[in-house]
Chains A and B, each alone.
Chain A
């Protein structure tokens, strides 16, 4: 089945840029969605359809998807961005939703 690979952790200083990757075979052909999960809370979408932001998500959050890698970019990182981030795609070959393993973003 389709596998999404994320780094376990990413650390960044406040004000810098965090990039969280999501690797998958020819992932550029899929719609990638990104979720943020803060400690003790349910996940919420931050990017859908590779690049789109829902209302309420700041412009600092952006996405891209090409080749075998999708990327969530968080600019001007703030302490409040600390969370676990997950990518998600629909695996049409197996009629399954697939999540990446998740990336813990630490703000130094």
Chain B
């Protein structure tokens, strides 16, 4: 099982970026997937989740309407489209799989995690 994030980089305030998470070694469309971020020197902050079989989505309030989580089951890739970026979005972004095949998030935890990709929002 492996998760590999990509797409991070330097972007100006107000700009956009799309992160990708390439998944391998498991039945991708059967699992809930998640994005978690970590600002420099700070703690973990959940960003968004997408449910395996329904593609229902959840977002934290501060990114709702700006970020879009999606998945391409043919390519086994998880995405996070980020718009209207601000300095507060600067962080390492991790993708993480739910621990078990699609069930309600309340019954799972995150395992495994990718290595993360750094997003820096600065002029």
Chain A residues with a Cβ under 8 A of chain B: 1, 31, 33, 35, 37, 42-45, 48-49, 54, 84, 86, 88, 90, 92, 95-102
- Residues of B39-55 whose CB lies within 8 A of A: 43-46, 49
Residue in chain B with minimal CB distance to A1: B61
Tally inter-chain residue pairs, CB-CB below 8 A.
58
A-B contact pairs, 27 of them (CB 8 A): A31-B106, A31-B109, A33-B110, A42-B94, A42-B116, A43-B44, A43-B110, A44-B112, A44-B113, A45-B111, A48-B99, A48-B109, A48-B111, A49-B109, A84-B43, A86-B44, A88-B109, A88-B110, A90-B105, A96-B58, A97-B34, A97-B46, A98-B46, A99-B45, A99-B46, A101-B43, A102-B43
Going nearest first, the 5 A-B pairs with the smallest beta carbon separation are A97-B46, A102-B43, A33-B109, A90-B106, A42-B113
Q: Are B105 and A97 in contact (CB under 8 A)?
A: yes
Q: Which residues of A contact B115 (CB under 8 A)?
A: 42
Known pairs A42-B116, A49-B109, A97-B105; list 17 more (Cβ under 8 Å): A1-B61, A33-B110, A35-B110, A42-B94, A43-B94, A44-B112, A45-B99, A84-B43, A88-B110, A90-B106, A96-B58, A96-B60, A97-B36, A97-B46, A98-B46, A100-B43, A101-B43
Whole-angstrom distance from the CB of A43 to the nearest CB of chain B? 6
Seen from chain B, the residues whose Cβ lies within 8 Å of a Cβ on chain A are 34, 36, 43-46, 49, 58, 60-61, 94, 99, 105-107, 109-116
Q: How many angstroms between the C-alpha atoms of A102 and B44 in the bound complex?
A: 8
Chain B contact residues: over half helix, strand or loop, or mixed? strand
CB distance from B34 to the nearest CB of A (A): 7
Contact A43 B46 (CB under 8 A): no
- Per a CB cutoff under 8 Å, which of B34, B44, B105 touches A35? B44
Contact A97 B114 (CB under 8 A): no
- CB B23 to nearest CB in A, in angstroms, measures 15
The residue that B106 contacts in the complex, of A35, A92, A100, with Cβ under 8 A, is A92
